[in-house]
Amino acid sequence: MTFCQHAHCASNRDESATGVAGEEEILEADPAMLLEMLRTVPDCRGRKGRRYALSFILAVWVVAALAGAMNYREMAAVAASIPQTALCVLGAEWSYFSRRHEYPRRSTIRAVLAVVDAGELDRITTEWLLLQARRNQEDDGSFSWVMALDGKVMRGAWTDENSTVTLFSAMLHRQAVTIAQVMVPEDTKETTQVKALTEKSGLREGERVLATLDAAHASRETAKLIAGKQGWDYLITVKTDKKNLYRQAARAVLPALPGPPHDVMTESSRGRTTKWSCWTASAESVNFPHIRQVACIIREAFDRAGEKTSKEVAIKVTSAGPEKETAADLNRHARDHWGIKNKSHYVRDTVYGEDRNQTFKGNGPQALASLHNLAIGLLCLKNVKAIRETMQEIHLDRRLALAYMATERNISYLALSSNGPAALPP
């Protein structure tokens, strides 16, 4: 049933209870595929006292996350202001006593988030995001998928088992969607979770995959793990803490540096110009598993007057040969790796305030992060660039969330009002 059909159904019951006019102006915004996915999340609650279906509570959480809700209180506030017709679409039951569709309150939201299986929620939502990305898959040069692996500490959160909450995730470079996430145990580091994360990513041996990692993962074990998979390659930053590897890699690429760069990228934004210059060399003399190439990338920043304001030098090693990764590819993928910071971690900190959120009860911290990843992924799948501005629009009109939760590409939209956005992304 489409949103318009639900709107007609609900309006017959209680026209004044919707709180918002003009539901018929949204055409065919049907989030059925997303709701079907949410119904597969296991319900860990006891049978006694269940008032709402878990899939409905999860759907309300998604709306709240799309509206930029930062904590349980704000989630409850969003839930209370979701129009009746939208609640109907999300699966709310009709109360013949109050003559309204009911919604979960703050205590319910907090209690359910604390007991939901956050690991399964992560697995199910990230697998679904990868499925949506596969529908619009585009090869990235010699690779079908390029993913960045990186960890994030939720500085304000803790659990009974963890004094700090660290989540290790994998994000697709091009699509900017998170396709796997695991919690790092208290007594370990994210470097020990590479195997678990790659296995949960949904990308399998035989697919052409490039994994990009920062210097913390410059180890022989990680290189063997990734490049040992059929069709997989790594691109890893090396720093001076790995003395032997850094020295060998730097010596291999040093003869190329007096010559012109093999690739140059420039970008101008907000009065600053950034230039990335890349030199590559064979890695025959470097003792590291599966290594084929070494790259040196120099990043320089210039102000409006053309004066250099900063300079950084990075050494990269990769198992991809020049037939797979040219200097231009290495330069771009090394730069795009930091998209996991800018497009995911930064958004979660600035929009959702994860570093300030002192969630601590049960599985709440990881479950919140999972919902944030899902909401950001839904927007990115719709090619939304202005994440904060879009969430502000959804906050002003909760019905917009249903449009972004819909997954069919042929959905058409109309303006919600003369003061609202002219059209939604296709």
Using alpha carbons only, give the angle 413, 399, 368 rounded to the nearest 5 degrees.
Answer: 120
Q: Which amino acid is at 86?
A: A
| Residue 182 placed within a domain | no
| Residue 323 sits in the same domain as residue 367 | no
160, pLDDT greater than 80: no
* Cβ count near 383 (within 10 Å): 11
Stretch among 125-134, 161-170, 365-374 having the lowest mean pLDDT: 161-170
The candidate with the shortest Cα–Cα distance to 175, out of 406, 410, 29, 340, is 340
| Residue 378 placed within a domain | yes
- Contact (Cβ atoms closer than 8 angstroms) between residue 337 and residue 173: yes
Q: Quick one: pLDDT at residue 17?
A: 33
* Cβ count near 386 (within 10 Å): 10
57, pLDDT greater than 90: yes
User: What's the CA gap between 233 and 215, in Å, rounded?
Assistant: 16
Structural domain harbouring 219:
215-336
Stretch among 123-127, 130-134, 352-356 having the lowest mean pLDDT: 352-356
| Residue 27 placed within a domain | yes
The candidate with the shortest Cα–Cα distance to 399, out of 10, 37, 18, is 18
The dihedral through the CA atoms of 315, 200, 188, 287 has a sign that is negative
| Residue 26 sits in the same domain as residue 92 | yes
296, pLDDT greater than 50: yes
**Residue range 236-246: average pLDDT?**
96
Q: Which of 304, 336, 368 is the last residue of a domain?
A: 336
Element (H, E) at 36: helix 32-38
| Residue 224 placed within a domain | yes
| Residue 320 sits in the same domain as residue 386 | no
**Residue range 91-100: average pLDDT?**
88
In the block, residue with structure tokens 């709180």 = 19
Average pLDDT, the chain: 84
Residue 241 Cα to chain centre, angstroms: 30
18, pLDDT greater than 70: no
Banded pLDDT at 161 (limits 50, 70, 90): low
Kindly report each contact of residues 13-20 with a partner whose C-beta sits within 8 Å and lies 24 or more positions away, as own/partner.
13/94, 13/99, 14/84, 14/99, 14/100, 17/84, 17/99, 17/100, 18/83, 18/84, 18/85, 19/81, 19/83, 19/84, 20/83, 20/397, 20/399
Rounded percentage of the chain residues whose pLDDT exceeds 90: 60
| Residue 368 placed within a domain | yes
- Contact (Cβ atoms closer than 8 angstroms) between residue 211 and residue 161: no
Give the count of domains, the chain: 2
**Residue range 329-340: average pLDDT?**
92
User: What's the CA gap between 391 and 378, in Å, rounded?
Assistant: 12
Q: Quick one: pLDDT at residue 243?
A: 95
Paired with 95 in beta bridges are 100
| Residue 20 placed within a domain | yes
| Residue 8 sits in the same domain as residue 105 | yes
| Residue 238 sits in the same domain as residue 326 | yes
User: What's the CA gap between 26 and 252, in Å, rounded?
Assistant: 59
Residues 6+ apart with CB under 8 A from 189: 216
| Residue 332 sits in the same domain as residue 362 | no
| Residue 296 sits in the same domain as residue 371 | no
| Residue 193 placed within a domain | no
What does the DSSP assignment read for 84-122? Answer: HHHHHHHTPPEETTTTEE----HHHHHHHHHHS-HHHHH
304, pLDDT greater than 50: yes
Strands 209-213, 145-154: pairing kind:
parallel
| Residue 129 placed within a domain | no
Residues 6+ apart with CB under 8 A from 197: 149, 168, 169, 170, 180, 181, 182
Q: Quick one: pLDDT at residue 79?
A: 94
Using alpha carbons only, give the angle 230, 129, 387 rounded to the nearest 5 degrees.
Answer: 125
109, pLDDT greater than 70: yes
107, pLDDT greater than 80: yes
